[in-house]
DNA sequence: CTGGTCATGTAATGAGTTACATGATTGA
DNA sequence: TCAATCATGTAACTCATTACATGACCAG
């Protein structure tokens, strides 16, 4: 049972979903490809943390909809109380920033402009998610008992940190522009 | 040649260092264990991106001090101009936040208090790094031509984002405390 | 008719962690 | 005397990405 496995249990615990669906839902918080998810789901099902029913669809491919078992829910509760691993952040841009002095202004500038753009896209995406959430739960996501609370605080953090990185990019570009 | 390899080249390009030293320098921006670094350095040396001299020490174990070759510097410059991979952030706390509704207030609270503490530690550490850097380069790290510029902008980003996550933790704890 | 989404899977490879291995010095 | 730091390496394992494989539907 690794972290990704608990992540999947956590999503399924809230709402039964297909592997494909879980992959999409998970993206913002834990990047994993379908090739990692499908085998894991099969394993979790074999070990009775999850169960699935095959849902037949006419217009699209059939799907397996997984739901959580009592054993799965118990495992989740136990996991929540166990020590949390430290976060891992790996950003190629940091490593490039370290050797900016080796290159010219134009190349350097481009690096941060691309990241600025990426952040701009992410920002509007997450702002939309947050707005949708606030609609969905009739304005009380700040209540820690609400099932939306977790998503609410996560989206808030995401929006804040993206906004900040965006400002950081602009600050760096500003310095790169000054011919000093 | 993967991202870590370029990261090592980038550090060595600025200052010749031992594998052990590189591991420590790299920690803030790219977490990698010595068991990953040593074999990579050996490979980079075999392929003439790096070269090393064995430095004998009396009080401590001898070390291999790596420095960059012309081929290594050329590879770095080329890498800087190539498209940058998207950052990867994996935080177990996000996944736990998602299923907070499954557990009690006390467990939830502890989760964020622990992260708050971690951020507090990181914050003072990075603030010190930044202060040291500002001393080291006699107050002009904002000059993009300075070899300190890269480190300066990275440390600034680190301090900002840690400070923000710290505030986020406190905000969440505040909500958890309100008996709503 | 081409490319995107939905849908699930396996195989091969690469990246990263943990454990094994050694050994001197220094500070609590 | 116990743990930490410095210093380098290998072996086994797990985790993650890329590539291989299939196939229907829909929009431009």
For the cut 70, the answer to whether the pLDDT of residue B125 exceeds it is yes
Rounded to whole angstroms, the Cα distance separating A174 from A158 reads: 24
Residue of A nearest to B86 (CA): A91
Q: Residue A4 class from Cβ within 10 Å (0-12 exposed, 13-18 middle, 19+ buried)?
A: middle
C1' of D1 to CA of A85 (Å): 32
C1' of D19 to CA of A56 (Å): 29
Rounded to whole angstroms, the Cα distance separating B3 from B71 reads: 17
pLDDT value of residue B82: 96
| Triad A103, A107, A112: Cα angle to 5° | 115
DSSP bridge pairs for B89: A89
Question: How far is B59 from chain A, CA to nearest CA, in Å?
Answer: 32
Computed over every residue of chain B, the mean pLDDT equals: 94
pLDDT band at A142 (very low <50, low <70, confident <90, very high): confident
Going from N- to C-terminal start, the domains of chain B cover 3-81, 92-177
Residues A34-48: tens digit of each pLDDT: 999 999 999 999 999
Q: Do A94 and B145 touch (CB under 8 A)?
A: no
Mean pLDDT of A160-174: 98
Question: How far is B81 from chain A, CA to nearest CA, in Å?
Answer: 6
pLDDT band at A59 (very low <50, low <70, confident <90, very high): confident
pLDDT value of residue B180: 64
Q: Do B96 and A79 touch (CB under 8 A)?
A: yes
Question: What string of DSSP letters covers A70-125?
Answer: HHHHHHHHHHHHSPPPPPEEE-HHHHHHHTGGGS-HHHHHHHHHHHHHHHHHHHHH
Q: Do B95 and A10 touch (CB under 8 A)?
A: yes
Say whether the CB atom of A25 is under 7 angstroms from strand C: no
Q: Which of A78-82, A133-137, A161-165, B93-97 has the lowest mean pLDDT?
A: A133-137
- Provide the 10 A C-beta neighbour count for residue A46: 9
C1' of D18 to CA of A35 (Å): 10
For nucleotide C9, give the residue with the nearest CA to its C1': A38
- A vs B: CB pairs below 8 A: 198
pLDDT value of residue B137: 81
Q: Strand D contacts (CB < 7 A) among B residues 14-73? A: 18-21, 24, 34-35, 38-39, 41-42, 57, 60-64
Residues A67-77: tens digit of each pLDDT: 999 999 999 99
Rounded to whole angstroms, the Cα distance separating B2 from B21 reads: 20
Say whether the CB atom of A36 is under 7 angstroms from strand D: yes
For the cut 80, the answer to whether the pLDDT of residue A15 exceeds it is yes
Q: Which residue has the higher pLDDT, B155 or B58?
A: B155
Say whether the CB atom of A46 is under 7 angstroms from strand C: no
Q: Do B89 and A88 touch (CB under 8 A)?
A: yes
B80 neighbourhood in chain A, CB within 8 Å = 96, 99-100, 102-103, 107-108, 111
The fold of A3-81 is Arc Repressor Mutant, subunit A (1.10.10)
pLDDT value of residue B111: 97
Nearest to B98 among A11, A107, A142 (CB): A11
Mean pLDDT of B68-96: 97
Asked whether the beta carbons of B31 and A90 are under 8 A apart, the reply is yes
| Triad A8, A23, B30: Cα angle to 5° | 85
pLDDT value of residue A180: 65
A165 neighbourhood in chain B, CB within 8 Å = 157, 161
DSSP bridge pairs for B65: B18, B53
Q: Which residue has the higher pLDDT, A57 or B50?
A: B50
For residue A32, CA distances in Å to A11, A36, A129, B97 come to: 14, 6, 20, 18
pLDDT value of residue B15: 96
Question: How far is B141 from chain A, CA to nearest CA, in Å?
Answer: 11
The encoded tokens of residue B166 equal: 């710290």
Rounded to whole angstroms, the Cα distance separating B88 from A29 reads: 10
Please report the beta strands in B21-123, taking only residues with DSSP state E, as ranges in sequence order: 50-55, 63-68, 88-90
């Amino acid at each position: 049972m690794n972290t990704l496995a608990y992540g999947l249990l956590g999503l399924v615990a809230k709402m039964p979903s297909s592997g494909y669906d879980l992959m999409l839902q998970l993206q913002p918080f834990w990047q994993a490809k379908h090739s990692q998810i499908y085998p894991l789901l099969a394993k979790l099902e074999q070990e009775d943390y999850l169960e699935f029913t095959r849902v037949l669809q006419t217009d699209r491919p059939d799907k397996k909809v997984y739901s959580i078992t009592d054993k799965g829910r118990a495992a989740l509760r136990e996991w929540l109380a166990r020590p949390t691993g430290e976060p891992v952040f790996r950003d190629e841009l940091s490593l490039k920033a370290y050797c900016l002095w080796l290159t010219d202004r134009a190349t350097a500038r481009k690096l941060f402009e691309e990241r600025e753009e990426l952040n701009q896209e992410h920002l509007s995406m997450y702002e939309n998610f947050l707005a949708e959430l606030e609609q969905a739960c009739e304005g009380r996501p700040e209540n820690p008992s609400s099932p939306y609370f977790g998503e609410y605080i996560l989206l808030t953090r995401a929006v804040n940190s993206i906004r900040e990185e965006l400002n950081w990019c602009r600050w760096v570009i500003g310095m790169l522009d000054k011919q000093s």
